Each structure stands twice: as C-alpha cells, then as structure tokens.
C-alpha cells in the first residue's frame, strides 16, 4: 500500500516537472522567435514618395553649429532621429490606425512632430509629442485618419526646437496597409499576446509586431523574457543598438 502511494506521488511529481520544463522551453522559444521576416508578397515600393530634406541627427540648429567637425561627418544610430522600421524603411500594417514608433536621440528639442502624407505628398494628418526626456522611443497614432487597404503612405518625424517651429531636420518611412492573410487570422485567434507578436513578425506585418511587443514591455518593464524578445526583434532589423532605450507610452 505504501509503495503504491509513493508510486502515485512519483508520477504526479514527474508530470509536474515535465510540464514546467515544457512550458519553460515553449516560452523561451517564443522569446527567441521574435525575428522579423519581410513579406515576399508585399515588397517595398521601388521609389519613395514625396521630397527630401537635410539631416536626421535630431539636433537643434544651435547645438549642431557647436559640434566638432568630425561629429558632423558620420553619426551612429544612437545619434540619429530614427523611425523604428526594417532597413528599407518600409513597414506593413493590417490596421486602419496603426502605431508608429520612433527613436529620439539626446536632443535639446522640446517636441517632435509626426506627419502623415498620402501618395501625392500631401500632408493628411499631424501630431505633436512633447519631449520630457531623451533619448527615448515614443509612439503615436493618427486615430482620425484611417489608412486605406493597398495604399502607401509616408510618415515623417521632425524636431521642434525653442522657436516653436519644426526645423529642417527629419526622418521618414513608408507604410502600407494590407488585408490580413486568412491563415494568419486563424492563428491569431488562439495565440497569446507574445505569440501574436511572433506571428505578425513571421508574416512580415511589422507595425503590429513592433507595437505589440512595445506595449508588452511598457506593461511589464522588468520581464527578462520580453527584453530578450525585444532585443531579438530589433536585432533582426539592425536596430539592436537602441534596444535599451526607455519606451514612453
């Protein structure tokens, strides 16, 4: 009788241990799986839309004028105003009102201005975000301006200095809204929040992947698993050098 009791106890302990090990590896796999795979069926546009401007260092004119000459030649990613996008500066979304994320370097600017342009280069939405501390990663949505499926839009970030006007300093990216794949939709229905990030990344849906993971990190800032996922996602698009930058909501 006693041996039977110990046998049952051993079986229960074994099951619990296997479950914990399995859960650990599944979760660890999710954390490691946050790598972005560009969509082959929705390639980036061959030409950009709109015009161009001068620089993207995020510095106000007064600060740029006093920089050493060698600093003006080449700047690292951490010193640049940077939209969080793949290397081709192009991202897909399935949302009518996606989230845009941007890295703001150390700057004396008081705010940044986000502008959304249509394919004709006309500004159709604008939003200003006050800067409280930099460097930081900030996010914005244009809620009142839904994106149309199948169309490309340009989004720009400009710094606003003490004069109160946007300076000739900018960074830009292109976004396209697409209709989600039916296979993706069925997988998303059963997925956890972290699994959804992985699915979006696998299907090449950049904006939902980066925004979803950023939201998780803001809500759980001390999670090592989410930090690993964040680092891996940014590393897959050569943005790992800004992975430790504070996220602001």
Residue 23 lies in a domain: no
C-beta separation of 56 from 104 below 8 A: no
239 vs 223: CA distance, rounded Å: 20
∠ at Cα 161 (158, 163), nearest 5°? 120
The domain tally of the chain equals 1
Residue 139 lies in a domain: yes
Per residue in 107-158, pLDDT (tens digit) is 889 999 999 999 999 999 999 999 999 999 999 999 999 999 999 999 999 9
Per residue in 172-221, pLDDT (tens digit) is 999 999 999 999 999 999 999 999 999 999 999 999 999 999 999 999 99
To the nearest 10 degrees (0 to 180), the angle between helices 193-202 and 206-219 is 150
3-class DSSP state of 162: coil
CATH number for the domain including 235? Answer: 2.60.40.2550
DSSP-assigned letter for residue 138? E
C-beta separation of 134 from 242 below 8 A: no
Task: Residue 154: name the closest of 188, 204, 125, 117 by CA.
Answer: 117
Residue 19 lies in a domain: no
Query: Which structure tokens are listed for 25?
Result: 């590896």
Residue 5 lies in a domain: no
Residue 223 lies in a domain: yes
Residue 20 lies in a domain: no
C-beta separation of 119 from 125 below 8 A: no
In the block, tokens 């006693």 appear at 2
Percent of the chain with pLDDT over 70: 73
Integer angstrom CA distances of residue 33 from 3, 77, 234: 44, 24, 12
Instruction: Give the residue numbers spanning the domain of 98.
Output: 39-242
DSSP-assigned letter for residue 243? T
Residue 190 lies in a domain: yes
For the chain, counts of helices (H) and of strands (E): 7, 8
Query: Which structure tokens are listed for 211?
Result: 């925004």
Could you tell me the strand order of the sheet in which 111-117 lies?
90-93, 166-177, 152-160, 111-117, 123-130
65 vs 50: CA distance, rounded Å: 28
Residue 49 lies in a domain: yes
Per residue in 99-121, pLDDT (tens digit) is 999 999 998 899 999 999 999 99
């Amino acid at each position: 009788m006693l041996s039977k009791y110990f046998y049952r106890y051993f079986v229960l302990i074994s099951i619990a241990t296997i479950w914990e090990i399995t859960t650990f590896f599944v979760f660890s796999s999710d954390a490691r799986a946050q790598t972005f795979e560009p969509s082959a069926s929705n390639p980036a546009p061959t030409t950009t839309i709109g015009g161009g401007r001068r620089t993207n260092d995020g510095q106000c004119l007064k600060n740029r004028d006093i920089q050493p000459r060698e600093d003006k030649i080449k700047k690292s990613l951490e010193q640049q105003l940077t939209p969080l996008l793949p290397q081709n500066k192009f991202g897909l979304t399935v949302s009518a009102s996606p989230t845009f994320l941007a890295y703001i370097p150390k700057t004396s600017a008081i705010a940044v201005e986000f502008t959304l342009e249509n394919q004709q280069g006309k500004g159709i939405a604008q939003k200003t975000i006050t800067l409280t501390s930099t460097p930081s990663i900030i996010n914005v949505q244009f809620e009142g301006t839904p994106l149309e499926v199948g169309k490309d839009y340009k989004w720009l970030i400009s710094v606003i200095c003490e004069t109160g006007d946007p300076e000739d300093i900018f960074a830009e990216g292109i976004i396209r809204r697409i209709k989600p794949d039916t296979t993706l939709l069925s997988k998303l229905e059963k997925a956890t929040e972290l699994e959804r990030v992985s699915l979006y990344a696998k299907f090449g849906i950049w904006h939902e992947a980066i925004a979803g993971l950023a939201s998780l990190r803001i809500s759980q800032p001390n999670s090592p698993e989410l930090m690993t996922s964040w680092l891996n996602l940014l590393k897959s698009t050569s943005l790992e050098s800004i992975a430790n930058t504070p996220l602001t909501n």
